[in-house]
Every structure is written in C-alpha cells, then in structure tokens.
Amino acid sequence: MYSHDTLGLGHLRRCREIAHHLVESNSRLSVLILSGSPIIGSFDFRTRVDFVRIPGVIKLRNGDYTSLSLHLNIEETLELRESIIKHTAETFDPDLFIVDKEPWGLRGEVRSTMEMLHKRGTPLVLGLRDVMDEPAALAPEWERKNVLPALEELYDELWVYGMKEICDPFDGLDLPATVKLKTRYTGYLKRHVPTVGTSPQFNIPEDPFILVTAGGGGDGEGLMEWVLRAYEYDPDLPYPAVLVLGPFMSQEKQAEFLDRANRLDRVQAMTFDARIETLMSKAAGMVSMGGYNTFCEILSFDKRALIIPRTEPRLEQYIRAKRAEELGLISMLVDNGDHDPKEMAKSLRKLPGQPRPSEILPTDILGGLPQVNRLAKRWLRKSRDLRNIPVRQRA
C-alpha cells in the first residue's frame, strides 16, 4: 500500500485500518505500507503489517511542497522517495498494489513503480475517499496531472471508500465509461476501539464529555481557539471537554492551548493520542473539522457531532459536512475567522439534543472493510495467473 502523507494523519490512518482488516481476514497475507508520515512509528501495527518510511515532505499553504527534515530541495527529496518506493516494490514483489488517493503518487513519484508492477502483471488499485474536491477545482487538477492515462491504462480497479448515494468523488467530472466501469463503491470504513492500550496522557473522564479533535492539527488552530473561547465565555456548557490538539500543530500554539485549558475547570487537553478511538467511543459527542476518518468515526461510534470544516486549500471537508448536515447526521458551523464564543457556545448547547447518526441512516453504510476484503481477495486470487499472461493480452 502506498500513502504519500504530507502533513496530516488521514491517509496513513485509512491505509492502516484497511491493512489491519485484510490481515485479520487472511492468515497468509502480509501488508507493507509505504508512507511519508513522520509519526508512523507512534502507531501500533498488527502482526504481518509493517511499514517503510520514505523521507517526509510538507505541503505549504500555497500548494507547494518542501522537504520535512532533510537539507535537500524538493526535487532531490522526491527523487529519493521514488527510488525507495520502486526498490521496495521490486524486492517485496507484491501480489496487489493499492495506491491511496493520488493516481500517480506525489508529483508522479509512483509512476515508475506502477509501470514496473504492471509489466509484471501485478493488479493495481486506486483507493479514493468519498469526496476529493469541488469539480471546478478537481477537473483542472486531474487534467494538469494527466490522471486519465493512469485510470484508463494502468489501474485495474478504483475503490471509493463511501456510498455514491451520499457523496460521489466523480460528481461533475466527465470521465470515460471505461473508468466508471472499473469503479467500486465499498461503503464507509468502520472503526473499532483498539483491543489493547488506553489513552496515555490522562484518565478518561468518568462524566459525559465532548471530544474536540483536529486530526493532525496542522490547520486545527481555528477550531481549538473557537472552542476554548466558548468555554472561557460560558463555563457552564452542558459537557466538559477533552481537546486533542494534533501532533502537527505548532509548538507555540500547543503550549498556548494547553495553558488555557489548564486554567479551565472543565477542559482537559493533550497533544496526541495514537489510540484516539478509545476516547471517541466514550465521548458523549464530538467537535471536529470533519475529515474522512473523523466522519467514519462519528458514524462508527454513533456520536452526535458538530463539524467545523476546513475550506482551504480544498472544499472536501465542507462538501462532506454540508451533505451530512442535509441528511441530518451532524450539525455544522463555518469558520469565518471571527470565532465568536457566543455562536460556538450556542451550538455546543444544542449538541445533546441532536439525533444520533443511527437514527437517521442504517448501519450498512459502514460495510467498507468487508467489501474491501472481498475485492482484495478476488484480485489476490487472480494475481498469480495475471503474472503469467503477457501484458498486451490482459483484459
């Protein structure tokens, strides 16, 4: 599995969840994850799931990339990443290669690996979340990246980790029929409480609480600021709060928010929890930015939720949250930069009265992992046969 991972946890956590389910369902299977995440080693991995960490890069606010730690320019870093990815694939010789989100990888770094594996007859799969971006932005991006040749000629199948009836990543795109025929909608990926380990930094509150999370936290400062202002303004909000700031939030902001939380009787804060599902399962409600993983967790743990979606550099979170709000699954606030504590406090007071997601939609929308497993098993059975057929004769 390839997960390009710049700044955030979404791609890594999605790949890890899929990998764990695959090995749990197949005792003869091993999964190797190629990841650029600098904190991948902070997570637990099941037996027969391992990772190769490639040099990290950061996506800047203007859309450019830069090396995370090495004194190399971005071109040199990408060349190193591409070399490690290809050498690992050559040696590991997988029976199935799953790419997360980016059809050619980050700036095309997986292209040579995909072409090599395609010649070997290795099935290639592109995994996509339910929302990519608004069509007006995604269409020119895919045209600029020359995505169609990869979708038409190299990928054997496209897996959308969602339901077309809720969100369709291809909505508004003019895609060839051949690509649509390759697409499988799996349903959302259900999350579970880890079987070992608990939240490491403090004891989980015994009383009902809301969990405030910003994923990786690199762009979560506005959310945390807004929630803290609400508790500073109205200390008697219905529930106490637990804030998980995220490992990629700046140290200065982490220190500020931790200090402000310590001054409040009903707010606790930590920087990171690799087993955050434990907190989610016990929370009375959630306040979040609304990335794909968090949306799956809200559905999986059946939590009342308030979403404050990111609107830059993509509208992905806003599109998903808007649709979920229309369906009655969550409530939403749009961050206009004012961070009015009265507005946040008003929304937090409404949270206990919201319906749970299970009261709105059936739980079968969370059938993604079993479906991914069925699709993977089918390709794994075909894989060895495909390797013995010349590429030009492959369907």
Reply yes or no on whether the pLDDT at 207 is more than 70: yes
Q: Is there a cis peptide before residue 341, judged by omega within 30 degrees of 0?
A: no
Work out the pLDDT band at 60, boundaries 50, 70, 90.
low
Residue 196 has a pLDDT of 56
* Confidence (pLDDT) at 14: 93
pLDDT-derived band of residue 386, with 50, 70 and 90 as boundaries? low
Is the per-residue pLDDT at 364 higher than 90? no
CB 282 within 8 A of CB 309: no
Rounded to whole angstroms, the Cα distance separating 395 from 393 reads 6
Is residue 62 predicted with pLDDT exceeding 80? no
Q: Give the integer Cα–Cα distance in Å for 216 and 254.
A: 12
State the amino acid at position 316 in one-letter form: E
CB 308 within 8 A of CB 334: yes
pLDDT tens, residue by residue, 91-127: 999 999 999 999 999 999 999 999 999 999 999 999 9
Least-confidence region, from 10-19, 227-236, 355-364, 381-390: 381-390
Average pLDDT rounded to a whole number, residues 12-16: 92
Q: HSE on the CB side for 248, CA within 13 Å?
A: 24
Percent of the chain with pLDDT over 90: 73
**86, containing H or E segment:** helix 74-92
- 258 vs 195, residue with greater confidence: 258
3-state secondary structure of 66: strand
pLDDT digits (tens, 9 = 90+) for 133-179: 888 888 999 999 999 999 999 999 999 999 998 999 998 898 999 99
Q: Is the pTM of this model over 0.85?
A: yes
Closest CA to 7 of 214, 216, 213: 216
Residues 6+ apart with CB under 8 A from 4: 11, 36, 100, 101, 102, 105, 106, 109
Q: How do 57-59 and 65-67 pair as beta strands?
A: antiparallel
Higher pLDDT, 361 or 372: 372
Cα distances (Å, whole numbers) of residue 216 to 11, 241, 265: 11, 19, 26
| SS3 assignment, position 102 | coil
Mean pLDDT in residue range 216-222 = 89
Between these two residues, 387 and 214, which has the higher pLDDT value? Answer: 214
Query: With 50 as the cut, is the pLDDT of residue 395 above it?
Result: no
Whole-number pLDDT of residue 137? 87
- For the chain, domains (ranges, CATH) are 2-189+367-393 (3.40.50.2000), 210-361 (3.40.50.2000)
Taking only the tens place, the pLDDT of each residue in 280-313 is 999 999 999 989 999 999 999 999 999 999 988 8
Whether the pLDDT of residue 59 is over 80: the answer is: no
Q: Which of 184, 114, 99, 103 is nearest to 151 (CA)?
A: 103
Query: b/e per residue, 307-335, with b = 16+ CB within 10 A?
Result: bbbbeeebbbbbbbbbebeeeebbbbbeb
263 in helix, strand or coil?
Answer: coil
**What distance in Å separates the CA atoms of residue 330 and residue 304, rounded to the nearest whole number?**
7
Q: What is the pLDDT of residue 384?
A: 67
Q: Give the H or E element holding residue 256.
A: helix 251-262
| pLDDT in the model for residue 71 | 85
pLDDT at 392 over 60: no
- Residue 151 · residue 158 · CB < 8 Å: yes
Give how far Cα 301 sits from Cα of 9, 191, 345, 366, Å: 19, 8, 24, 11
Reported confidence tier of residue 69, pLDDT bands at 50, 70, 90? confident
